[in-house]
Structure 1
């Protein structure tokens, strides 16, 4: 069995396997931003944001455009926005199920 496509998918999802990288992608879903803007929005300064942007860049999830000393980031593929929306729906579905179980447990101690 050819494992090339499953391996590619696994590497893609590894790139999403960090909360800050997901948050950065969510910010970029709203439009292109430079590093300072991203840092301000996510509430982190220093190298943390730059390190995660480097991973996203290495995995080809973001595009960069350099103008002078400013680097602007954007989503490489607009379908990332859809992927994050679906992931949020899945999370919300699980959350609703968990709340229902907890409510039932409270009603029937």
Structure 2
């Protein structure tokens, strides 16, 4: 009887890029590049624990310009939710928002 081999591992979602993958072991990332990006503190691009997907449009704009970044948790072993904050002077972030709003004709 020719039966297909059963898929090994549990379906998981990468905490860095949001890709769905299978892993027989406990893992947080789909690949070595994603694991290294997370270790360097690169902002996640998706996934269930990544907060930028739930940001407001203004916060997303600040995140894309690099004014908001991930500041925690500090340890890769810490499984708590990511913490995001302004990583520049608030006046600089406000000036960028005012510029973007004026550029689109929305007013400040």
Establish whether TM, by shorter chain, passes 0.5: no
The interval holding the TM-score normalised by the smaller chain is under 0.3
Give me the TM-score of the superposition, normalised by structure 2: 0.27
- Identify which of structures 1 and 2 has the higher relative contact order when contacts are C-alpha pairs closer than 8 Å and 6+ apart: 1
Higher-helix-fraction structure: 1
Structure 1 or 2, whichever has the larger Rg, is: 2
